[in-house]
Amino acid sequence: MNTPLVSLVEAGKTYGQLDVLSAMTMSLNEGEVLGLFGHNGAGKTTMMKLILGVISPDKGKVEVMGMAPDSKEAWHARSKVGYLPENVSFYEQLTGLEVLTYFAKLKGFSKKQAIDLLEQVGITYAMKRQVKTYSKGMRQRLGLAQAFIGEPKLLLLDEPTVGLDPIATRDFYKTVDELKSNGSSVILCSHVLPGVEQHIDRAMILSSGKLLAMGTLSELRQQAALPVIIKPSGLNGAVAQDSKLNAFLTKNCQQTLMVPEQDKLAVLKQLLNLDGLDDIHVESANLEQVYQHFLEQHELDLQQKTQGEQN
């Protein structure tokens, strides 16, 4: 029963000499939200296109709901997939409602559903206006409404929160959480952005067509072995005197401890026992730092490789 909704096995895509995506293996379960991170040209969009069945893999296998997405049999599954492309500009001369009705009809739904969706993303007030009068945020909301047509089981969203104001972003994540609790799976593709951490189950980091890391955020943190930053206050040098604790002190700041993830609890316990402690601030490495770490690691590997070849 636990077959993954999406699975890629050694899937690769080449354009001419260029390996856009090489031997990618991943799977996505029902009701799971996966964050897909990488720079421009890292292969995120190519991976999405493979899953959507718009292009076919040159190597390996892609399966969505148990079928190859580019095959004929997967045809009907397509109305269960929602997609928000990056930089899409809808038919400017049509009104928002006309655009959404067109897309809804192509998926077999009616104008009424289109109106409901416009209400859900909060642009009913502008639905009779031409899209060319819309702001960037309104266009993005229209795009999202389009992706939500027919309560898709699988959603692929390319840079969904670009151009959205904080309130709209919050609304968007609320919708994602709702879809997730209804059993939909979501692939969120983005440059790393703050606020995405709480809403994703797993993250995938891509660079130049290769998978650098994949796992839950805490797994990735562990892999990256990034220290936890602990800032106690009110201790007046008690930390520096402690032989165990002063090993974690940063050189330039006497108040900040950099502690490896596995020592975190031990250090915290010890700090709590110290007299005079009036506040403590604990900060785990965030997604952005984890992302940076893996990219730097990748750069280093590449440099070493080229040096090795030169020698």
Partner 1 sequence: MKQILTVANKEFHDGLRNRWLVSITLIFALLSVGLTYFGAAASGAVGVTSLSTTVASLASLAVFLIPLIALLLSYDSFVGEQESGTLLLLLTYPLSKSQLLLGKFIGQGGIIALATLLGFGASAVLLYFQLGDTEIFSAFGLFIISAILLGLSFTAISYLISLSVSEKSKAAGFALITWFLFALAFDLALLALLVGVEDGVTQQGLTQLMMLNPTDIFRLVNLSGLDSSDVNGALAVAINASLSQVQLISALVAWVILPLTLAIFIFKKKTL
What residues line the site for partner 1 (CB under 8 A)?
49, 52-55, 75-76, 78-79, 81, 83, 85-91, 93-94, 102-103, 105-108, 146
Q: How far is CA 170 from the centre of its chain?
A: 15
Residues 6+ apart with CB under 8 A from 117: 100, 104, 145, 146, 148, 149
> Can you say whether the dihedral through the CA atoms of 271, 272, 273, 275 is positive or negative?
positive
Mode of pairing for the β-strands spanning 228-233 and 257-259: antiparallel
* Closer residue to partner 1, CB minimum distance, 106 or 266: 106
CA–CA dist 203, 216 (Å, integer)? 6
Taking CA atoms, 96 is separated from 128, 138, 155, in Å, by 6, 9, 21
Give the strand order in the sheet containing 33-37: 81-84, 154-158, 185-190, 33-37, 202-207, 210-215
Name the minimum Å distance from CB 91 to partner 1: 7
Distance from the first to the final alpha carbon of the chain:
53
> Could you tell me the smallest distance in angstroms from the CB atom of residue 7 to partner 1?
19
17 or 87, CB closer to partner 1? Answer: 87
In whole angstroms, the minimum distance from the beta carbon of 170 to partner 1 comes to: 26
Strand partners for 211 = 206
Q: Given the complex with partner 1, which of 8 and 154 has the nearer CB atom? A: 154
Query: To the nearest whole angstrom, how small is the minimum distance from the Cβ of residue 165 to partner 1?
Result: 22
Give the shortest CB-82-to-partner 1 separation in angstroms. Answer: 9
Quick one: 96 exposed, middle or buried, by C-beta within 10 A (0-12, 13-18, 19+)? buried
Question: Nearest distance from residue 85's CB to partner 1, in Å?
Answer: 5
Q: Nearer Cβ to partner 1, position 84 or 213? A: 84
CB nearer to partner 1: give 49 or 202: 49
Residue 102 or 124: the one with the smaller Cβ distance to partner 1 is: 102
Least Cβ distance, residue 102 to partner 1 (angstroms): 5
